[in-house]
């Protein structure tokens, strides 16, 4: 990855070209967002913002020439680059990867809460997306089980997916930054990620409230918090690898099968991460 990092930073136009091209890829929050994080960490916040002007201008002109929704392009740019800029800025200010990811968890909860306040009818909001998914699946000879994709599930899934994309973009951008041959600032290691007992206790409280009152909001927050501990579960795998307790092939295999066994692996990794946050497996193993 060092070659990619050096190429992106070799000339200003390299990063501009990459930002413009990756904006139109699937899940641009991942690659384009990671480039933004790299620019902030290596060049500074102001220069990173300046580097976004030309890609933003190009992306704005494209729908005007070839047709398309300008509002969609603007929303895509804001949704891709602004969170990456803010996360990178928080990382620089706090100098802590763990604290930045913890704050991202809180931001996701706030965003989920605002969505439910601003959108009174989530069923009407998600129905066009469900209709589009149903049509695409039918065109490919498949069917969509409407009972499995309710409005609440769509909301929770969207919140988790965007959180995962932004968190991965932050980690990927930071990883690219650490590939620089020059001396870099240390913000922490992914293998040491720990969301902490406060968030773990918050999950327990929201779970109890969801079970007691049956509120969809409590259930959504509890599920989001639980799923986010997946990231800590992955961090434990990397820690075990760094300590020589787990072969590299196991870590690689988890990432390979993750897209195919999403539900089972997310649950398993989340349980591991949650128990570690409460009991501190890594701290106990270090003492031994």
Domain ranges for the chain: 1-122+148-187, 189-288
Separation of first and last alpha carbons in the chain = 35
* Reduced 3-state DSSP string for 148-163: HCCHHHHHHHHHHHHH
CA dist 13 to 31, 54, 172, Å?
A: 17, 9, 21
Contact 9, 42 (CB under 8 A): yes
In angstroms, the Cα distances linking 193 to 178, 182, 218, 232, 267 are: 17, 25, 25, 6, 18
pLDDT digits (tens, 9 = 90+) for 18-40: 888 888 888 888 899 999 999 99
d(CA 97, CA 171): 8
8 A C-beta contact, residue 54 and residue 12:
no
pLDDT per residue over 132-175, tens digit each? 777 776 766 666 555 556 777 788 888 888 898 999 999 999 99
* pLDDT (tens digit per residue) in 210-221: 888 888 888 888
Q: Measure the CA–CA gap between 107 and 104, rounded to whole angstroms.
A: 5
Q: Are 30 and 162 in contact (CB under 8 A)?
A: no
Per-residue burial over 198-230, b = 16 or more CB atoms within 10 Å of its CB, e = otherwise: ebbebbeebbebbeeeeebbbbbbbbbbbbbbb
The pair of structure tokens assigned to 181 is 């041959």
Sign (positive/negative) of CA torsion 27, 28, 29, 31?
A: positive
- pLDDT 10s digits, 226-281: 988 999 999 999 999 998 888 999 999 998 888 777 788 889 999 999 999 988 88
Using only C-alpha atoms, the chain has a radius of gyration, in whole angstroms, of 20
């Amino acid at each position: 990855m060092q070659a990619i990092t050096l190429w992106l930073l070799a000339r200003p136009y390299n990063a501009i070209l990459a930002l413009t091209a990756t904006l139109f890829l699937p899940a641009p929050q991942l690659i384009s967002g990671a480039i933004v994080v790299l620019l902030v960490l290596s060049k500074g916040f102001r220069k990173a913002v300046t580097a976004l002007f030309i890609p933003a201008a190009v992306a704005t002109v494209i729908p005007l020439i070839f047709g398309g929704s300008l509002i969609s392009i603007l929303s895509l740019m804001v949704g891709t680059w602004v969170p990456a800029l803010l996360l990178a800025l928080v990382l620089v200010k706090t100098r802590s990867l763990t604290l930045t990811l913890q704050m991202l968890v809180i931001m996701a909860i706030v965003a989920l809460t605002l969505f439910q306040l601003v959108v009174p009818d989530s069923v009407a909001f998600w129905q066009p997306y469900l209709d589009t998914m149903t049509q695409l699946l039918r065109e490919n000879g498949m069917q969509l089980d409407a009972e499995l994709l309710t409005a609440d599930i769509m909301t929770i899934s969207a919140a988790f997916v965007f959180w995962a994309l932004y968190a991965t973009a932050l980690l990927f951008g930071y990883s690219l930054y650490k590939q620089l041959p020059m001396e870099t600032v240390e913000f922490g290691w992914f293998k040491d990620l720990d969301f902490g007992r406060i968030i773990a206790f918050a999950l327990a409280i929201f779970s109890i409230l969801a079970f007691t009152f049956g509120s969809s909001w409590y259930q959504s927050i509890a599920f989001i918090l639980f799923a986010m501990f997946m990231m800590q579960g992955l961090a434990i795998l990397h820690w075990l690898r760094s300590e020589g307790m787990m072969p590299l092939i196991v870590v690689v295999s988890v990432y390979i099968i993750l897209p195919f066994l999403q539900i089972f692996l997310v649950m398993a990794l989340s349980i591991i991460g949650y128990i570690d946050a409460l009991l501190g497996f890594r701290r106990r193993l270090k003492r031994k």
